[in-house]
Amino acid sequence: MIDHVTQLAQAALPHWLLDGAALELIKYRENGVFKVTTAAGKRYALRVHRPGYHSQAAIHSELEWMAALAMAGLDIPQVVPTASGELLITQSTQQIQEPRVVDLFEWVDGEILRVHLDRAIGEKNTAEIKRLFEQVGETMAQLHNHAAVWKAPAGFTRHAWDRAGFVGEQPFWGRFWELELLSAEQKRLMQAIRDRLDRDLKAYGQTVDNYSLIHADLNFDNVMVDGNKTRPIDFDDAGFGWHLFDMAVTLNHLFFDPLEQLATDSLVAGYRRVRPLSDRELSHLPLFMTVRSCSYLGWIRDRLEVPEILERAPKLIENGCRAAEAYLAH
């Protein structure tokens, strides 16, 4: 399949008229992401979308928001239109006959936050860990500020990380409480936490101050560190959602970790430099940390055929159950 997706990416390249472009696979997990290098040394990132996750209209809307963010001066990957001015194209080949959406971005230099953070942790460089999370917090607040006032164009459509999207009958990432890998006891726990999250999300509510378009995937693999700058990448999961959920996504990989409090305090400090966040609002962060941990089980359930995800499943299940137990106990 990697060979077939690579052939499709190669077939799509002429739409951008890139002279002597060479492809290098960067990642193939759900989407296929390729580094494109032209004869003149110019670099880009080309993305081949997986089928069935987003409609073409939803992907186009993602790119519209990214273009608007860049126009507003935010330091994010620049969408590169085709030679005919389109933000995306569809491409098929003899091997992949169902058309796939393909888009192109300017290359983002640096290393992923995960690598940089691991090094800082290994060196016990608390100041650098603090700086990294403060910068991510600032970036997140900039995205929320833009989304709060931006007028989306006609036809704009993205999924929602809302109450129905998490605990409704058809969650965006699947019915986590029915994951086949769970024991009977774990399924009872997940059903109990589903009911509790449903009540608490309803009580928390949606307002213009706490809910808007969000990135929804600012995890350690989707932030690039380049010197003193951090830049978000991969807006594939961007949709309408709670701002605290955006925070929970970033912090989830340190849930129950000794560094969790430092990371949380630093992320919040950076966020507050750019956008207000009251202590009362922040007190609801455990709700969204639990939502994130449990929703991962729905993510597994929709991808049981992927070996890499099956390898991650035991740890994600452990974290989800631990988060559920802790939340139900308070």
How confident is the model at residue 308, as a pLDDT?
85
- Name the least confident of 67-71, 199-203, 229-233, 305-309: 305-309
Q: Residue 1's pLDDT band (boundaries 50, 70, 90)? A: confident
Q: What is the pLDDT of residues 262-298, one digit of tens each?
A: 999 999 999 999 999 999 999 999 999 999 999 999 9
Q: What is the pLDDT of residues 12-60, one digit of tens each?
A: 999 999 988 999 999 998 899 999 999 999 999 999 999 999 999 999 9
Tell me which CATH code domain 111-329 carries.
3.90.1200.10
% of the chain residues with pLDDT over 90: 94
In words, the CATH class of domain 2-106 is: alpha beta
Pairing outcome for strands 239-242 and 160-161: parallel
- Name the least confident of 83-92, 218-227, 231-240, 298-307: 298-307
| pTM metric for this prediction | 0.95
Question: What are the residue boundaries of the structural domains of the chain, listed by start?
Answer: 2-106, 111-329
How confident is the model at residue 176, as a pLDDT?
97
Q: What mean pLDDT is predicted for residues 107-129?
A: 96
